Amino acid sequence: MRLIVIGITDNPQPFFPPEVMEIIKNGKVFSGGKRHHEIVAPLLPKDAEWIDITVPLDDVFAKYTSRFTLHASHHSPLGELEGVSLIIFASGDPLFFGFANTIQRKMPEAEIVVYPTFNSLQMLAHRLVLPYHDMRIVSLTGRPWHEFDKALIERTTKIGVLTDKEHTPAAIAQRMLDYGYKYYILHVGEHLGNPALEQVTTLTLAEATQHNFSMPNCVIAEANASRFTSLPHGGVGGDFASRKFGIHESAFALLNGREKMITKMPIRLLTLQALELPTRRVFWDIGFCTGSVSIEAKLQFPHLQIDAFEIRPECEAIIQENARRFGAPGINIHIGDFLACCDKIATYSTPDAVFIGGHGGKLKEIIAKVLTVLAPDGVIVMNSVIAPKVLTDSQKLWDEACAELGLLQEPPLHIQLNDNHPITILKCKRK
């Protein structure tokens, strides 16, 4: 099956080169969005058949297959281009977060020919006369914030964003302000390619939060690196090219002002090392309290998807405050008893690194529950405090749980900071 995918803009009077016009002239079956149909309808043959691209897409691809079979049956086994090709119109460059990628997933055996035009972010850069070879591209069209958050944490100076009705320019600007990434301006392009409706606007983030942009639109967020200034305690700011490796515990908002409840910075960094986070994908922080481990992990390894669990409801506001203070968006927060939400955890992304920061005496049960979802090569880490008045020996519970559940322990790491109680970093994985 041969599919010819032609890129178009929003221009109501599109221009196509002679080769593409000849393909359209001789076509039989066409497809695209309703907006695309309105644009190209005057160019289609009178007897043309049109298939709307709507959800569910499986129905659309079923129609493609049936129409191909029908038309190919009237030709020789090899067929001819105009008789057996399905012609699809798609926005911009069909290989740039476009429909050609979907075709490759849904119909891997199909032959695909692409005639692209400029995508929306290219057109916006052209209107601004803005070099875009160094621009990080992020699609938020039907996607979560993760890649955009990663670009912010990595202090990308130029971010091109494909938007949707939820991830609007106003929502993007508000997220950047919420997490302290305020030294950006937003360039917004609306209806690019349509001479009657096209508009390009450059605003501050505060201005963008108050503006209602029409769809379709796209955004380029541009930062002036020299304007990033230090926030307290080495948060988002500091020199643009560097970020402090480790946040001192005194910088965090605390639970009831209890600094002893928070994992000390050197221990926190060694814990992240034990979790092997550079090579991990999904990190779970069970018993997050102030969120210091999750936040440090997100800042040092922004590629991670992080789910943080805590039984105490008052900790939700604390982790949110700390995440904003240090510019760490994208941590998924879950409040409630970890063991009680066992039905829900199976719906979360499979973790390959788990830190147990609190267990309430139910360590064995928590580890057993984690093992029901942990990736085959996943690791579990816990810090055990050695204190004379601790009622429950966490390391003893850990050893018993590992023995009963058939887990392989790595040699423990014993550390003592100043006059604080000694800490043992414990780590295990499946045998």
Q: Does residue 87 contact residue 6 with C-beta atoms inside 8 Å?
A: yes
Q: Determine the pLDDT at residue 26.
A: 93
Instruction: Please provide the average confidence, as pLDDT, over all residues in the chain.
Output: 89
Q: Determine the pLDDT at residue 361.
A: 86
* Res 139 pLDDT > 60: yes
* Least confident span in 80-84, 139-143, 293-297, 307-311: 80-84
What's the pLDDT tens digit per position in 337-389?
999 876 788 889 999 999 999 888 899 999 999 999 999 999 999 998 766 55
Q: Does residue 221 contact residue 176 with C-beta atoms inside 8 Å?
A: yes
By C-alpha distance, which of 380, 253, 259 is closest to 328?
253
The amino acid at residue 326 is F
Considering only CA atoms, give the Rg of the chain: 27
Is the model more confident about 348 or about 160? 160
Q: Determine the pLDDT at residue 235.
A: 46
By C-alpha distance, which of 89, 192, 99 is closest to 141?
99
Q: What's the average model confidence in pLDDT over 234-260? A: 68
Both structure tokens of 282: 């999904």
Output the pTM of the full model. Answer: 0.87
* Res 224 pLDDT > 90: no
* Res 32 pLDDT > 50: yes
By C-alpha distance, which of 349, 347, 343, 350 is closest to 376?
350
Q: Does residue 307 contact residue 279 with C-beta atoms inside 8 Å?
A: no
Which pairing describes strands 423-430 and 407-409: parallel, antiparallel, or unpaired?
Answer: antiparallel
Q: For the purposes of burial, counting CB atoms within 10 Å of the CB of 227, is it exposed (0-12), middle (13-18) or buried (19 or more)?
A: exposed
What's the pLDDT tens digit per position in 192-221?
999 999 999 999 999 999 999 999 999 999
* Least confident span in 71-80, 220-229, 245-254, 301-310: 71-80
Is the C-alpha dihedral spanning 46, 42, 213, 220 positive or negative? positive
* Res 79 pLDDT > 70: no
Angstrom CA distances, 426 to 110, 232, 308, stand at: 51, 32, 19
* Res 330 pLDDT > 70: yes
* Res 430 pLDDT > 80: yes
* Measured CA angle at 164 (ends 224, 106), to 5 deg: 115
DSSP string, 7-25: EE-S-SS----HHHHHHHH
Q: Determine the pLDDT at residue 347.
A: 87
Distance between CA atoms of 352 and 279, rounded to whole angstroms? 9
Distance between CA atoms of 195 and 11, rounded to whole angstroms? 7
Angstrom CA distances, 5 to 72, 112, 258, 372, stand at: 19, 7, 61, 44
Look at phi and psi of residue 104 and say left if phi exceeds 0, alpha if psi is from -120 to 50, else beta: alpha
Distance between CA atoms of 356 and 339, rounded to whole angstroms? 13
Q: What's the average model confidence in pLDDT over 40-49? A: 95
Q: Determine the pLDDT at residue 260.
A: 66
Distance between CA atoms of 168 and 163, rounded to whole angstroms? 6
Q: How many CB atoms lie within 10 A of CB 137?
A: 16
